[in-house]
Amino acid sequence: LLLEDRYELLEVGTSVGRRYGPRLVARTQMRIEDLKGRHVALPGRRTTATLIARGLLPPFEEVHMDFTAIMDAVRDGEVDAGVIIHEGQLTYEQEGLVEIINMGKWWKERTGLPLPLGVNVVRKDLGPELCREVSRCMRESIEAGLSNRKEALAYALQFARGLDESTSDEFVGMYVNDRTRDMGPEGIAAIRRMLSEAAEIGLVPKVDVEVID
């Protein structure tokens, strides 16, 4: 959003949550209303997780930290709750934490759309032809990975941050799939809906979303 005058969104390479996404977790079960004025760990100021948390929760104290530190901070009582992303969505119960709300599920039930989590962008000043070529090359790369999933997963395991092969396979499948190849009209609608709602309550500036196929 801060650079929308210089970059265009690409349809390719998108990550969306279809009834899954960032999760708000705590040491014990509580209501969302109970977090008013409490300390909640967030994985970065400019993330979908933080944007949704700001719109969903009552006023709270934001504690920003590396996403890999959030579960420890919640478990050790440094914060009252935390919004976890990435593989933490699959492993938080192993850390003795409980889910307060699954933001991806909440968003889907509320809007009927997937929750946008990550996108790729390209510089506008490269020009339309080169921008489309970048998009084409990225799509071919993703197609190669999807067509050779076993080999791609074996390579990716070196970056798995301690996950076993089965959990890594589940995690990769959540975010590298048909919507990574092409977000489609549903993905574009989801991005526009999220940013429009955020702009209405003053969380982000109003922007016109343009996408390169």
44-61: burial string, b at 16+ Cβ within 10 Å, e else: eeebbbbbbbbebbeebe
- Give the domain range for residue 190: 7-15+116-212
Say yes or no: 101 and 135 in one domain.
Answer: no
Which positions are catalytic?
A: 86
Q: Are residues 60 and 129 in the same domain?
A: no
Question: Are residues 52 and 103 in contact, defined by beta-carbon separation less than 8 angstroms?
Answer: yes
Instruction: Tell whether 188 is covered by a domain.
Output: yes
The CATH code of the domain that includes 91 is 3.40.190.10
Per-residue model confidence (pLDDT) at position 207: 83
Does residue 83 lie within any of the structural domains?
yes
Q: What local confidence, expressed as pLDDT, does residue 119 receive?
A: 92
CA–CA dist 60, 37 (Å, integer): 4
Q: What is the pLDDT of residues 17-41, one digit of tens each?
A: 999 999 999 999 999 999 999 999 9
Give the residue-averaged pLDDT of 123-150.
Answer: 94
Per residue in 48-65, pLDDT tens? 999 999 999 999 999 999
pLDDT category of residue 208 using cuts at 50, 70 and 90: confident
Q: How far apart are CA 75 and CA 130, in angstroms?
A: 48
Verify that 132 and 161 share a domain, yes or no: yes
pLDDT grade, residue 160 (50/70/90)?
confident
Cα–Cα distance for residue pair 83/209, rounded to 1 Å: 26
Model confidence at 201, pLDDT cuts 50, 70, 90, reads confident
* Residues 104 and 125 placed together within one structural domain of the fold: no
Mean pLDDT of the chain: 93
Choose the final residue of a domain: 95, 111, 127.
111
- 68-115 confidence digits (pLDDT tens): 999 999 999 999 999 999 999 999 999 999 999 999 999 999 999 999
Domains identified in the chain, total number: 2
Check whether residue 100 and residue 123 sit in a common domain. Answer: no
pLDDT at 194 over 90: yes
For residue 32, the model assigns a pLDDT of 96
- Do you know the residue count of the chain? 213
How far is the first Cα of the chain from the last one, in angstroms, to the nearest whole number?
Answer: 19
**CA 123 to CA 4: how far, in whole Å?**
10
Residue 2 belongs to a domain: no
Using the predicted structure, report yes or no on whether residue 2 has a pLDDT greater than 60. Answer: no
Strand segments, DSSP code E, in the chain are: 7-10, 15-17, 23-26, 39-42, 61-64, 81-84, 98-102, 115-118, 121-123, 211-212
120 and 88 inside one domain? no
Q: Please give the backbone phi and psi of residue 128, each rounded to the nearest 5 degrees, phi first.
A: -55, -45
pTM of model > 0.75 = yes
The pLDDT value recorded for residue 22 is: 97
